[in-house]
Chains A and B, each alone.
Chain A
Amino acid sequence: GAGVSQSPSNKVTEKGKDVELRCDPISGHTALYWYRQSLGQGLEFLIYFQGNSAPDKSGLPSDRFSAERTGGSVSTLTIQRTQQEDSAVYLCASSLNYGEDTQYFGPGTRLTVL
């Protein structure tokens, strides 16, 4: 595609529900990153994929968070039993390869947990 796309753009859910966030990276980009950004804050690294593999999952905040990537393309970030502190903008980025200096960001998914 022309750029990184994410869906949904906004998600409002009730505490305790599961949510699934989707990221479509730029076609041909092998590296994919998930970040979380709370209001007025910097970007918190969550997880990185090289192809379908996530070498380091230590950035995920808790075991309620999981992510997968299939076919070296689309990635989903799943949050189980959502909590109010999970409310944030979840940003996805991709780069041609890992270690490339430029990451291209999607518009983000704004998650609100009531």
Chain B
Amino acid sequence: GQSLEQPSEVTAVEGAIVQINCTYQTSGFYGLSWYQQHDGGAPTFLSYNALDGLEETGRFSSFLSRSDSYGYLLLQELQMKDSASYFCAVNTGGFKTIFGAGTRLFVKA
């Protein structure tokens, strides 16, 4: 079967750095995406990695290692507003995008 594994919850303090890992097992792989979803809101796109390495967008960075079927989202200088659920997703190329179950991030003052 196809699966994406990510931690269910992560807690960090304001100003800190947090890393959310994602490992995947899919029949096809075109790229790994990350989405943020606040309670009651719709998912919003954060980043996309098709090739190995680190992509940086402001306070957020995303990393991919295709050989390890692994990626992570790095959030720096955490703010209270970063408290949300974060989903990794794989574009399998088979007309499907498979999402992980999500990691709930709690940012404490």
A binds B: yes
Give me the interface of A with B, judged by CB distance under 8 Å: 33, 35, 41-45, 48, 50, 55-56, 59, 91, 93, 98-99, 101-108
Using a Cβ cutoff of 8 Å, how many contacts connect chains A and B? 53
Q: Spell out B's residues near A (CB within 8 Å).
A: 30-31, 33, 41-45, 48, 50, 87, 89, 91, 93-102
Interface of A, helix, strand, loop or mixed by DSSP = loop
Kindly provide the distance from the CB of B16 to the nearest chain A CB, expressed in whole angstroms: 25
What 8 A-B pairs come out closest when comparing CB atoms? A101-B48, A105-B42, A42-B101, A43-B99, A56-B95, A102-B45, A42-B99, A105-B43
Q: Given A104-B45, A105-B42, A106-B42, is A99 in contact with B99 using a C-beta cutoff of 8 Å?
A: no
Determine the distance from Cα of A57 to Cα of B107 in the docked complex, in whole angstroms: 39
Q: CA A95 – CA B42 in complex, angstroms?
A: 15
Residues in B whose Cβ lies below 8 Å from that of A105: 42-44
Residues of A within 8 A of B48 (CB): 101-102
